[in-house]
Amino acid sequence: MGDWTAIDTGNGAMAAYLARPAAPRAPAIVVIQEIFGVNEVMRDVADSFAADGFLAIAPDLFWRLEPRVDLTDRTQPEWDRAFALMSAFDVELGVKDIGAAIAWARAQPWCSGKVGAVGFCLGGLLAFLTATRTDADASVGYYGIGIEKRLGEADRLADPLLLHIAEADEFVPKEAQALILSALKNHPHVQLCTYPGRNHAFARAGGAHYDAADAALARERTLALFRKALA
């Protein structure tokens, strides 16, 4: 069970959920939210990384729009609010805020100095941009939306990036998936994992498209990357 802290972004204080491992010092992982904010699902993700020995930080990236957004995927009004927030969200500022979270983590006495990032949905795109624009030591994106529009940034990749792609993703059509696979399949720093039959958010526990087996497989692959890259 974690707690909330504040991170100075240089343009204001951003709240962040912080989950610490049992070890006094450990590598850190920045958990990048879905469109529902740093909700129970994202806090549980952070807690699970802490249980696996990482310092986990989930920054409140919607803070400029509405602090501490906490929505679920269970009602249409919440979906409507989530999509409205995503539409209003400034991706460029969001990546800078993630960079601030990475710098904050590295400065903590409980951090080993290595910091990774993992994102889901909107956060999957932000994880890709974190890999291309920040000094994160490793990044993982789950079913990122809009990555195909940013593939020109792949030349900047210098550290490991793992992308989990749901082959039946309703928000990432086959054409977009083909562009991503074609552009990145031979990149020396990129690992691509596809999941046949899986829809968007297949790793969101309790979600309509949750698949326990593939969620566990994706998590195993994610942990393997982080344990190697952040050691």
Active site members: 169, 200
Q: How many CA atoms lie within 13 A of 194 on its CB side?
A: 13
The answer to whether 218 and 164 have CB atoms below 8 angstroms apart is: yes
Amino acid at 14: M
Rounded to an integer, what distance in angstroms lies between the CA atom of residue 106 and that of residue 30?
A: 11
Helix (H, G, I), strand (E, B) or coil at 180: helix
| Backbone dihedral angles phi then psi of residue 148, each to the nearest 5 degrees | -60, -20
Q: Cβ neighbours of residue 227 under 8 Å, at least 6 residues apart?
A: none
Rounded to an integer, what distance in angstroms lies between the CA atom of residue 162 and that of residue 107?
A: 25
The answer to whether 171 and 197 have CB atoms below 8 angstroms apart is: no
Distance between the two ends of the chain, CA-based, in angstroms? Answer: 24
